[in-house]
Amino acid sequence: MKVSDIMTASVDSIRSTDTIAYAARRMAEVDSGALPILSNGKLVGIVTDRDIAVRAVAAGIAPDVPVQRIMSGMVATCRPDDDVGCVLALMSREQIRRMPVCADGREVVGIVALADLAAHAPDKEDVADTLADICERGGLHCQTEHQVEASFEEMVK
């Protein structure tokens, strides 16, 4: 099964200059936990509801600050013709629940979420294993209190 068979093709996005508050409102309006961030139609980052809670609110960053301060700039992506098994493996390794689907040149053509994979993947055990890997503590996207404080201290300098 290919990513294009299960991805959500209509993806809302924002710009890096939009505020954290705008990102949160937009997530609420479109009922999404993540928004790709585009510049000139190309993917430059992603922001999640967790980023807003941990990197902004917990760190005391004002809601009128541009989302660029809290977004993840290094974004794992997949292609529409990628096999879902490969995407599950990448999600496991990166410990992420959502992944932008990009065509050539980082043009976002969709998004695939772990929920999409759980609903459509033929092997539910692979999805369960991926979720277990994502939920492990630590990893690339760990946002422990120590890291939040260190990031806050660095931003204040």
CATH of the domain at 101: 3.10.580.10
Please, what is the average pLDDT of the chain? 83
Give me the mean pLDDT over the 81-110 stretch.
Answer: 89
- Say how many C-beta atoms besides its own lie within 10 A of residue 148's C-beta: 16
Segment 106-147, tens digit of pLDDT: 899 999 988 887 777 666 666 566 656 656 666 544 555 434
Residue 95's pLDDT band (cuts 50, 70, 90) = confident
Residues 36, 71: contact at Cβ < 8 Å?
no
Note whether residue 12 is domain-resident.
yes
Specify the DSSP class assigned to residue 5.
G
pLDDT for res 149: 47
Structural domain including 27 reads 3-137
Query: Are residues 33 and 111 in contact, defined by beta-carbon separation less than 8 angstroms?
Result: no
Domain membership flag for residue 151? no
Based on the structure, what is the number of domains in the chain? 1
Evaluate if residue 152 carries a pLDDT over 90: no
pLDDT value at 94 more than 80: yes
**pLDDT score of 8 more than 50:** yes
pLDDT of residue 130: 62
Of all residues in the chain, what percent carry a pLDDT higher than 70?
76
Taking each helix axis from N to C terminus, what angle separates 124-134 and 84-94, rounded to the nearest 10 degrees? 20
- pTM confidence score: 0.77
CB atoms within 10 A of CB 96: 22
**Does the residue 95 lie in any domain?**
yes
Collapsing DSSP states into helix, strand and coil, what is residue 71? coil
Dump pLDDT digits (tens) for 39-63: 998 999 999 999 999 999 999 999 9
Residues 126 and 117: their CA atoms lie apart, in Å, by: 10
On whether residue 143 sits in a domain, the answer given is no
Q: Is 103 helix (H, G, I), strand (E, B) or coil?
A: strand
User: CA 114 to CA 137: how far, in whole Å?
Assistant: 18
| pLDDT at residue 36 in the model | 97
Token pair for residue 153?
A: 């201290």
In a domain, 156, yes or no: no
**Looking at this protein, which amino acid is placed at residue 151?**
S
